[in-house]
Amino acid sequence: MPTARQELLRLLATKSFRLGEFKLASGRTSDYYIDCRTTTLDARGAKLTGEVFLEEIRARGWNPAAIGGLTMGADPLAVSVAVVSGNIHAFLVRKAEKQHGTGQRIEGFREKGVRVVIVDDVCTTGSSTIQAIEAAREFGFEVAGVMCLVEREEAQGRPAVEQAAAPAPFVAVFTANDVKKEHLAISPQPSAVR
């Protein structure tokens, strides 16, 4: 029987990974695309995401009061962990402060001085993750750790996130190469032409 981590990788490979020509949020082009939301918003995928992230958070001893990141990629991750854990709250970081109502940039859990984990679905340049780290610290959260579901391993994303997160560690659950290998292993391969 596969572990939650193995099953989540399989779901990402089948539901979220696509080969082709794609323009990324960073403006770069790529021969593959990973849309994690098709997995993290799937009922089974959401449960697995919560389990895998929670297992990693507990293994590292981070003991956060809450988990969150920049909307929209982080939203399903934060909610999944909150639901699976039953005791870690979720928060969302807006791209900019609201111009109406209370004008908050952090939504959901808002208790200053507590330990939190920052999450993101895909990390390429790291800019979304870095924005969330900065907003969380500016609000008054203590960042205990930073996690992304899939790290693309390009555009100097990891060093940029590690620098912004320090002294908190940055952990990628999977690399894009992990997902691509799994995708190729389970996808029907074209027959050789004779």
Give the start-to-end residue ranges of the domains of the chain.
47-175
CATH number assigned to the domain covering 47-175 = 3.40.50.2020
Higher pLDDT, 189 or 9: 9
Region 22-45: mean pLDDT is 90
Average pLDDT of the chain to the nearest whole number: 92
Q: Residue 158: left if φ>0, alpha if ψ -120 to 50, beta else—which one?
A: alpha
pLDDT reported for residue 66: 98
Closest C-alpha among 103, 124, 92, 105 to residue 25: 124
pTM of the shown model: 0.92
pLDDT reported for residue 98: 62
Region 144-158: mean pLDDT is 92
Region 169-184: mean pLDDT is 96
Q: What percent of the chain has pLDDT over 90?
A: 79
pLDDT reported for residue 8: 98
